[in-house]
Amino acid sequence: MTLPRHPPGRPAERPPERPSEDVDAVVVGGGIGGLVAGYTLVGRGLRVVLLEASDRVGGPVRGGSFAALPRVPVDLGAESFAARGTAVADLAAELGLRVVEPAPRPAWGYAAGRAFPLPAAGVLGIPSVPWARDVRRAIGWPGVARASLDRVLPRFVADTTDLGTLTRSRLGRRVAERLVAPVAAGVHSAPLDRLDVATVAPGLLEAFHLEASLSKGVESLRAAAPAGSAVRGVDGGIHALVEALAGEIAASAEEWVDSPRVDQTGPIHTAVRLRQEVVGVERADDGAWVVRTAAGGRLESARLVVTTPAVAPLVAPWVGDGTVRAPRPERGADVWLVTLLLEAPELDAAPRGSGMLVAPDEDRPSGRKGPAVRAKALTHATAKWPWLAERVRDAAGPGVHVVRLSYGRLGAETVPPTPEEAARDASALLGVDLTDRVRDHLLQRWDGALPPPTPAYRADVAAFGAAVGHTPGLAVTGGWVAGTGLAAIVAHAQATVAAL
Ligand SMILES: Cc1cc2nc3c(=O)[nH]c(=O)nc-3n(C[C@H](O)[C@H](O)[C@H](O)COP(=O)(O)OP(=O)(O)OC[C@H]3O[C@@H](n4cnc5c(N)ncnc54)[C@H](O)[C@@H]3O)c2cc1C
């Protein structure tokens, strides 16, 4: 029997308990990070128990369907992954899924009451050629004149504190407000000045320093990126990835428990356990991790993988010398997604390409040319994903479309949108009256699921990660450390777990 030690510098708070289960690895959290970690460990022949607090795995990688079209899957959260790197595509192929490219249509921006195609050759909205036609359409000649200075300003004229100050210091305010802010708001649900550059645009700072120009840096990043679109999808929706991963783990599991089990004793094997909130982490004298759940479960394991910031404070006393601070992400925006099923043959022509990103101040009513729009982004899903267009056509006939609108900006409570409001916003953004064309709708809330990767938070993560590196048997992964998005998380989870 091994007894839990108390954390360095702290008295023992409760009498020692005997761990009732002994496994090779415990993974805390069943989002994409936890599932990839679990799948990788199971692939190494280890007995893994994955503990998920909620009643389903996948986090914001989630699917659903309209009541009117029950056989057509739609993504209710993440719907694509960044094409940089090959980790997600390789994983999808390994799981027997078909990776797809979006239709070659531009994304559009909506700023100052005007809709315009976003410059094709950019990174997070930062253009590679400041005087290109599509850039000029978005920011006008004065904007182009200021942005072009980026090619002649010396390297030291740059403030790299965050994405907003960097963009403004090199390319000026118009590029920041009209091109970069809509993309950042759409992707990260946060203003530019809250975003750490290295996290949201990997490689950009290095490319800037090399080229001595931000737009040239973007150009070199784009040249090094794989050909085709900057994002990819999966036939059947991105959520197929989560279902396949969970299926693979379950296939090697001897149990798939969807309710708390408190009576388990003796040797156990790989398992995915839902509704198992981790509430305590300790270290036994032999170095094993002791994990306790709210339902009274206790597991002992040589390896612990933490994929959620909620559990970071529980492991922090055991990390390094016990003094490192657990990173605490700021609360993310209260995001609501409305997915509309529309009877609208006018949308066959994809009037705004694959969708639109709305500049942050568009919802301020005064002094603007176009109608006020509260949505921050719109995805014309049937124009973007040919597989979806085909399935909708097969199930509902021609002229039927799926359009998704996203609401909620950082720091403000989000009033839940109604399908009527979403249809009004879609009409303004797509330039087609869609107000009485809604056949069905889906409403999904993601409250706080996208914490802003601020520079201060990233500094805490770096310090914590370094200390974790000196803590045997512990790995941390998931978006809270790897950065938002499947491309970052999948590659990080695989590499981290391999090193465990
Ligand atoms: C609306 C929306 C759209 C998005 N679109 C995209 C996109 O198109 N492309 C893209 O790449 N990314 C997208 N993202 C981001 C991406 O979905 C996330 O970065 C990613 O899913 C996070 O995965 P994760 O495993 O790190 O965290 P999570 O999925 O949050 O998983 C963490 C898990 O830990 C569990 N947990 C918490 N506390 C405990 C505890 N005490 N015990 C046990 N379990 C616990 C939680 O219930 C959760 O399931 C989107 C996000 C949102 C919200």
How many residues are present in the chain? 500
Ligand 1 mutation pick, 307, 442, 490, 492, max ligand atoms within 8 A of CB: 307
Q: How far is the CA of 140 from the centre of ligand 1 (A)?
A: 38
Average pLDDT over residues 96-119: 90
With contact defined as beta carbons under 8 Å apart, do 240 and 234 qualify? yes
The residues lining ligand 1, judged by C-beta closer than 6 Å to any ligand atom, are 28-34, 51-54, 59-61, 77-81, 277-278, 307-308, 310-311, 335, 337, 446, 449-450, 478-479, 484-486, 489
Match 């599991």 to its residue by tokens.
Answer: 253
Give the closest residue to 389 by CA, choosing from 5, 69, 141, 1.
69
Upper half-sphere CA count for residue 426 (Cβ side, 13 Å):
34
Rounded CA-CA distance 376/398 in Å is 28
| pLDDT bucket at 183, cuts 50 / 70 / 90 | confident
Residue nearest to atom 11 of ligand 1 (CA): 485
- DSSP classification of residue 479: H
**Which of 284, 346, 285, 274 is CA-nearest to residue 54?**
274
Rounded average pLDDT over 121-137 = 92
Average pLDDT, the chain: 89
pLDDT score for 269:
66
Torsion of CA 235, 241, 245, 248, to 10 degrees: 0
Ligand 1 mutation pick, 39, 49, 52, 274, max ligand atoms within 8 A of CB: 52
Structure token pair of residue 44: 């190494």
430 pLDDT exceeds 60? Answer: yes
CA dihedral 176, 182, 183, 188 (to 10 degrees): 110
Q: What local confidence, expressed as pLDDT, does residue 370 receive?
A: 60
3-state secondary structure of 173: helix
Q: Determine the residue of 484, 489, 492 to mutate for testing ligand 1's pocket, defined as the one with the most ligand atoms within 8 A of the Cβ atom.
A: 484
What's the 170 CA to ligand 1 centre distance in angstroms? Answer: 33
User: What is the arithmetic mean of pLDDT over 183-193?
Assistant: 83
| Nearest-angstrom CA–CA distance, 82 and 61 | 14
Domains in the chain, start-ordered, CATH in brackets? 4-58+240-329+451-498 (3.50.50.60), 63-104+232-237+331-447 (3.90.660.20), 121-226 (1.10.3110.10)
Q: How far is CA 48 from CA 247, 255, 314, 315, in A?
A: 14, 11, 20, 19
Res. 412 pLDDT band, cuts 50 70 90: confident
Residue ID of nearest Cα to ligand 1 atom 21 = 60
Kindly give the distance from the C-alpha atom of residue 157 to the centroid of ligand 1, in angstroms, as a whole number.
Answer: 37
What would the two tokens of residue 442 be? 């889906």
* pLDDT tens-place string over residues 45-64: 898 999 999 999 999 999 99
Atom in ligand 1 nearest the alpha carbon of residue 406: 1
Burial category of 323 from C-beta neighbours within 10 Å (exposed 0-12, middle 13-18, buried 19 and up): exposed
* pLDDT-based confidence at residue 85 (cuts at 50, 70, 90): confident
Query: Looking at per-residue confidence, does 110 or 21 come out higher?
Result: 110
pLDDT at 129 over 50: yes
pLDDT, tens digit, 9 for 90 and up, residues 317-356: 999 889 999 999 998 999 999 999 999 999 999 999 999 9
Nearest to 346 by CA among 435, 417, 406: 435
pLDDT band at 122 (very low <50, low <70, confident <90, very high): confident
Q: What is the pLDDT of residue 265?
A: 41
114 pLDDT higher than 90: no
d(CA 253, CA 268): 10
